[in-house]
Chains A and B, each alone.
Chain A
């Protein structure tokens, strides 16, 4: 298999396509990933000239969802008058899903966006590795063959790649942008629907309410309410987030467990049918909370109830923007 070889191919295809787009003046700029300055990270970067394409790279640490910079549109992506420039964006499957979602919700103009598509081979799970290494300092992370090699000052540790990628990446079915060829250069594969089973959370669902409460409390207790997850999410683009509202104040912002719980519960409600399962929220969390757990549940709800997966095309309305006379209502209270 060779993740390492795949990465070399991906890097060269991204650079070639970006060079083509810029030198043929099809786009004004390209957003992509560049090498990070600390281990286990990568920096989003904007390049404007074909000579700079060598700054673009791909390693399995590109966890940021670049569609996040499209809504609200960053000033760096607009011209002097504030109109959107033509943007080329390095798109793995979930970034393309997010762009499709934003297009359906009329937040971006697909005509101005060109995706540089490729087959994503997964993102390394930073918090899992941090937890295993503990308090030693990590100085370098490389993917070699089929292993992740983590190096410190005088030690080295190997992790099997398959087990140490994000939980979402392990079950991902949309690794390549799902879009038409007119929006994409490079790899792309239009999907109408995907087949997904949710055995990974079925065990959890079978527990009692008390056990679920305790389990979720155990995961969410350390949250410092820094809102990095909200900021990194491409679907969270509200001008005024519900926690910041003060006319009226709906929910508290302290780190009492009930406030933490309420924030994550309501954010999940707002993301139902819109979450694109990119895993950025869990990767950016400074205290390493596994938010992918909640993401899988959101995917399950809309798949089982409405047979819908977000972001596969730019036309289908998400379930919460629509309604049907024939919706299931087995959860309603009925006379015996």
Chain B
């Protein structure tokens, strides 16, 4: 059984990670907007995907992102109790717990996949957490072992 081997991605001194962020429409996406309007600087490494609720995020999205070559994944939703759909984020929280434990068990570095809560009024908090996540992923280096050659 042969395995396709990727070319070694040269880790240049100024390599920047590519992080995909699934933000819930009502809280986190609005929080990111507020950070932008308030001119709060945060790293441009994230590419945002808007979802209606953090409960919409299927573990397939997270794993497919890693298989496609994204270096990090961030999922953000409303604080528990504040979900626009009442309980979407509570369902999601259990899902994320299981997924995080299993990813670590299988050998994915903890830190590649991050979950957080950020409300629509917390522009500053959103920026702080994204800064933190980017720093963690940058230290981990590029995602070589999980990326599939033909995605």
Contact = CB atoms under 8 A, between A and B. Distances in A.
Interface of A: 205, 209-217, 221-222, 242, 250-252, 255-259, 261-262, 264-266, 268-269, 272-273, 294, 297, 301, 305, 319-320, 322-325, 327-329, 331-336
Given A265-B63, A323-B94, A297 B102 contact: yes
A333 B133 contact: yes
Contacts of B104: 209, 212
Nearest to A201: B105
Residues of A contacting B: mostly = helix
Q: 3 closest Cβ contacts across the A-B interface?
A: A213-B107, A323-B90, A212-B107
Contacts of A297: 101-102, 105
Given A257-B3, A265-B63, A212 B106 contact: yes
Nearest to A329: B93
Contacts of A328: 97
Contacts, number: 116
A209 B107 contact: yes
B46 to A, nearest CB: 13
Interface string B83-121: 000010011011111111111111111100011110000
Interface in B33-66: 59-60, 63-64
Contacts of B67: 251, 258, 262
A331 B101 CA distance: 9
Contacts of A266: 59-60, 63
B interface, over-half SS: helix
Contacts of A320: 94-95, 98
B94 A213 contact: no
Nearest to B117: A332
Interface residues of B, number: 46
9 contacts: A215-B107, A252-B150, A264-B106, A265-B103, A266-B59, A266-B60, A269-B98, A272-B102, A325-B81
Contacts of A250: 60, 64
Nearest to A273: B98
Nearest to B4: A256
A258 B108 CA distance: 12
Contacts of B74: 333
B116 A332 contact: yes
Nearest to A270: B59
A257 B146 CA distance: 9
A331 B100 contact: yes
B107 A258 contact: no
Contacts of B101: 297, 301, 331
B103 to A, nearest CB: 8
Contact of B97 (A268, A294, A305): A305
Given A213-B108, A322-B94, A332-B116, 6 more contacts: A209-B107, A214-B107, A258-B148, A262-B67, A294-B105, A333-B115
A268 B93 contact: no
Given A323-B90, A325-B90, A265 B102 contact: yes
Given A221-B1, A323-B93, A331-B96, A252 B107 contact: no
Contact of B129 (A213, A322, A331, A335): A335
A332 B64 contact: no
Contacts of A221: 1
Contacts of B108: 209, 213
